[in-house]
Amino acid sequence: MRTHTDYLSFTTRQRHELINITERIAAIVAASKVTEGMCLVSAMHITAGIWVNDEESGLKQDVMEWLEELAPEGDYRHHQTGEDNADAHLKRTLVHHQVVLPITKGALDLGPWEQVFYAEFDGQRKKRVVVKILGE
């Protein structure tokens, strides 16, 4: 049995950003030497998530606008602590903050259009993602 752990760091330019990390995850899987297993990708900061969907610029704008409708910036109790990012906590909840990717024959076993995105909802500061691989 093999296990492998790595971390990715992000400091986005924009407050909201979708960053395609599929190739970076594939490189970590290759480094792990795991050929059959599972790869957990999980955003460690509670105002970011992981989204597996399409590398299509229109859809990427659609999803960000739609998240803004369902979890808008605004006035929340959380802001009484001095924070201003409650909406980002809710957006992370909607897209979910993690994914488990299957590894088959040494590669990510993704569908034809599945791409893995780091979804930042309160960026412009350093944040991390943990990648944990288990298998053989």
- Minimum distance between the CB of residue 131 and a second copy, rounded to whole angstroms? 9
Instruction: List, in sequence order, every residue forming a beta bridge with 2; answer none if it has no partner.
Output: 135
Instruction: Show the beta-strand stretches assigned E in 87-126.
Output: 98-104, 107-108, 115-120
- Selected range binding a second copy among 9-17, 22-30, 86-94, rule: CB under 8 A: 86-94
Give yes or no for residue 112 binding a second copy (CB under 8 A).
yes
Q: What is the DSSP letter of 78?
A: G
At 16, give phi and psi (nearest 5°).
-110, 130
Position among 15, 19, 40, 73 found at the interface with a second copy (CB under 8 A): 40
User: Encoding tokens for residue 3?
Assistant: 């296990």
Query: At 17, is the secondary structure helix, strand, or coil?
Result: strand
Binding site for a second copy (CB under 8 A): 1, 3, 5, 36-38, 40, 42-46, 51-54, 56-59, 61-63, 66, 70-71, 76-81, 86, 89-90, 92-100, 102-104, 109-114, 128, 130, 132, 134-136
